[in-house]
Structure 1
Amino acid sequence: MENSTITFITDQMKALTSIPSPSGFTKEVAQYLVSTLEEMGFTPERSRKGNVCVTIGGEGSPLILAAHVDTLGAMVRSIKSNGRLRPTTLGGHQWCTADGENCTVHTRDGKVYTGVVLNKEPSAHVADQKVEATEENMEILLDENVSTEKDVKVLGIQVGDIIAMDPRTVVTPSGYIKSRFLDDKLSAAILLGIAKEVAEKTITLNRKVSLLFTVYEEVGHGGSSIPADTEEMICVDMGCVGDDLGCTERMVSICAKDSGGPYNYDLVTELSELAKANGLDYAIDVYPHYGSDVEASLRGGFDIRHGLIGPGVYASHNYERSHIDGVRNTLALLKAYLGK
């Protein structure tokens, strides 16, 4: 069962990363979640802002497991006189990681155009000095025969259109998972794996459990509204991998503190003790430049216990990398917590 669930999770991760969904442009990915959950026999609901919530079973002590499916991206800020697009950032996008990346531009009437993200002077044989990859120096070059602002407008492209970076999703024979937007579509896929096992009755729920897929996490308010009866919320997001951190791509991360302050002390303790008791590869870490959906819930006034876990992901907000073992450890910790 575990191997079939892991395969299901990787398949769902590939499906989710293939759907462009920068913050504010998430209807298609939300509909995919709704359809997938309905096929399992659940009854998901979509909020006015676009979050998808579904109760997967159980009674009492309501728990939410949350992941987000919005991603970093960009929007057309203006159309230049030379037919190139000037972008503006959606979320904490780092332009230095996208310089040279292929992308798609999505118009309000449903057209999709391909292009490439480049700085103003990308050619080593032309530039007198390197152009820094900052937002004001970046352009979107459309794969269309355009050389004026008018040419671009004839295509139907206008200010406010969405720019999505290509994910380039790969799973290697050695188990490494490489893609943009593993933050947080990898963990969203893990929650779909939990739903699958509940639907197949291989997980018995001892309390009311709901899954929440948010669509504005990257801009700070995805989890600002949750069901009123919620007593506890665990964000299943990415675990950071890097200097001064214990987590690796093959572990499950348990976050003790991030930029919003400490997570619930007792819940962090319970999660770490479960990980240890089940022989899981895990780390407790502090992430000074991190924020999560559950912190938006707390700021929204909800009186809940809160936690944050997730598979280790290297190079966050870049071309990211994780590992099947990180997925396996995260899934096992969630199942252990649900079964306690």
Structure 2
Amino acid sequence: MNSRTAAQTPRHAPELNKLPVDRGYLISTLLKLLAIPSPSGYTDSVVHFVGEELQRLGVDFELTRRGAIRATVPGRKRKPNRAVVAHLDTLGAMVKHVKPDGRVSVVPIGTWSSRFAEGARVTIFTDEGNHRGTILPNKASGHVYDKEIDTQPVAWDNVEIRLDEHVSRAVDVAEIGIGVGDFVAIDPQPEVTDNGFIVSRHLDNKAGVACLLTASKAILEAGIELPIDCHLLFTIFEEVGSGASAVLHRDVAEMVSIDNATPAPNQSSTEHNVTIAMKDSSGPFDYHLTRKLLGLCRSHGIPHGRDVFKFYRCDAASAVEAGNDIRTALICFGVDASHGWERTHLDSLNALTDLISLYMQSPAAVERDRMELGPLKGFPDQPTEAPPVPERQHD
């Protein structure tokens, strides 16, 4: 069979609007998000911030028990509806034990290298108050350890927190209230350069959250009625794997995740466009939804590229693994040195925001998806035959 349905050739209604990106709002929202510590498991404050921003924008929302946000921008039809998801949680650490000399051993929250933890300024959140410190290698001074500072292995067992407190024994640390299991937040230290680069920890995924809020603001302020309901989802455990597993509406048919792309040798991602992921470590993304997003980029002049991520998973994986029968896709802003000293560019954030707003305005990828179960009629098709070979011209 080689017939093609409308789902395979993305439909771009003439009324789709490429809306102006409010750069001031985008940057200010990103900086506000970065200023709120939110390692996985310690996200209540950032949930309050995003909830209050949704209220300011006039978007109705609900919270799950643990604090994931499920907001709705209503459309003309309820089914099939869609979701766009970004995660609020970041990488961090947790107190593992206190050493006899008063230094604090930690374990990571999320997957990141202790190489990038070295030198980080941190806040430890305890039941009795907060304390500041620095993550250092166990052997931190060349005046003491000579070349051993360069030969000690890169591992979490080889770093520790030096507290900015008058402590020199484990009992001193206990007396100021620090104990096993206390959360450690890593300072983002953001910088926005004059030529548009943004350097910070935790751009993954607070830049994505800022883009989603900016795109939604543009649609609401333009008074555009969406064709179908669009749910804005903000998850709180993506960095540790559970992500969007428990925040979806039952009738969501398609979900686009927002996260970071990874510029590197043998990767196609850059810091200057939006990346459409074709596959990550959990498997391929939906064929029809992915081609729809690529078509939106082409039709509206959005700088974009494709990429495949071998060592990566996002909210889409947790949603499908939880048993949701949905089409999923992943769109990304480029982040150099992901899960480390991250850097992106406004070009990429602008392109991502443009794509989000156009996707929200577009028809469903597959109209038949309004039915959870249904007949063969209306089910889309993928091309399986090679295109005809042109006849060779002879002089």
Scaled to the shorter chain, the TM-score interval is over 0.9
1:245 aligns to 2:262 (yes or no): no
In structure 2, the residue matched to 1:206 is 227
Paired residues, number? 339
In structure 2, the residue matched to 1:17 is 34
What is the distance in 2 between the residues matched to 1:77 and 1:23? 16
Letter in 2 for 1:251: N
Contact residue 219 and residue 357 of structure 2 kept, 8 A: no
User: What residue ranges of structure 2 are gaps of 5+ in the alignment?
Assistant: 1-17, 363-395
In structure 2, the residue matched to 1:161 is 182
Query: Secondary structure of the equivalent of 1:125?
Result: helix
How far did residue 170 of structure 1 move?
1.1
Structure of larger gyration radius: 2
Query: Secondary structure of the equivalent of 1:108?
Result: coil
Q: Are the structure 2 counterparts of residues 203 and 124 from structure 1 closer, same or farther at C-alpha, using a change threshold of 3 Å?
A: farther
In structure 2, the residue matched to 1:313 is 335
Query: Secondary structure of the equivalent of 2:85?
Result: strand
Contact residue 203 and residue 335 of structure 1 kept, 8 A: no
How far did residue 2 of structure 1 move?
5.8
Query: Secondary structure of the equivalent of 2:334?
Result: strand
Letter in 2 for 1:139: E
Query: Secondary structure of the equivalent of 1:126?
Result: helix
What do the CA deviations read for 1:86-108 (whole angstroms, capped 9, x no partner)?
00110002110111111111112
1:102 aligns to 2:121 (yes or no): yes
What is the distance in 1 between the residues matched to 2:127 and 2:220? 37
Identify the match of residue 132 of structure 2 among 104, 111, 114: 114
Letter in 1 for 2:27: T
How far did residue 201 of structure 1 move?
3.1
What do the CA deviations read for 1:255-303 (whole angstroms, capped 9, x no partner)?
0001001000111111112111211111100000010111101001101
In structure 2, the residue matched to 1:43 is 60
Between stretches 130-139 and 168-177, larger displacement belongs to: 130-139
Contact residue 21 and residue 215 of structure 2 kept, 8 A: no
How far did residue 202 of structure 1 move?
4.6
How far did residue 337 of structure 1 move?
1.7
In structure 2, the residue matched to 1:192 is 213
Contact residue 13 and residue 189 of structure 1 kept, 8 A: yes
How far did residue 72 of structure 1 move?
0.5
What is the distance in 1 between the residues matched to 2:351 and 2:215? 13
In structure 2, the residue matched to 1:57 is 74
Runs of 4 or more above 4 Å deviation: 1-4
- Cα RMSD after superposing both structures: 1.4
What is the distance in 2 between the residues matched to 1:155 and 1:302? 46
Contact residue 197 and residue 203 of structure 1 kept, 8 A: no
Q: How does 1:1-340 map to 2 (within 5 A)?
A: 5-58=22-75, 59-60=77-78, 61-109=80-128, 111-128=129-146, 129=148, 130=150, 131-225=152-246, 226-340=248-362
What do the CA deviations read for 1:5-43 (whole angstroms, capped 9, x no partner)?
222111111011111110000000101111111111222
Letter in 1 for 2:241: G
How far did residue 194 of structure 1 move?
2.1
How far did residue 339 of structure 1 move?
2.4
Query: Secondary structure of the equivalent of 2:143?
Result: coil
* TM score, norm. by length of structure 1: 0.97
Contact residue 26 and residue 70 of structure 1 kept, 8 A: yes
Letter in 1 for 2:120: E
User: What residue ranges of structure 1 are gaps of 5+ in the alignment?
Assistant: none
Contact residue 81 and residue 228 of structure 2 kept, 8 A: yes
What is the distance in 2 between the residues matched to 1:202 and 1:26? 32
Contact residue 6 and residue 327 of structure 1 kept, 8 A: no
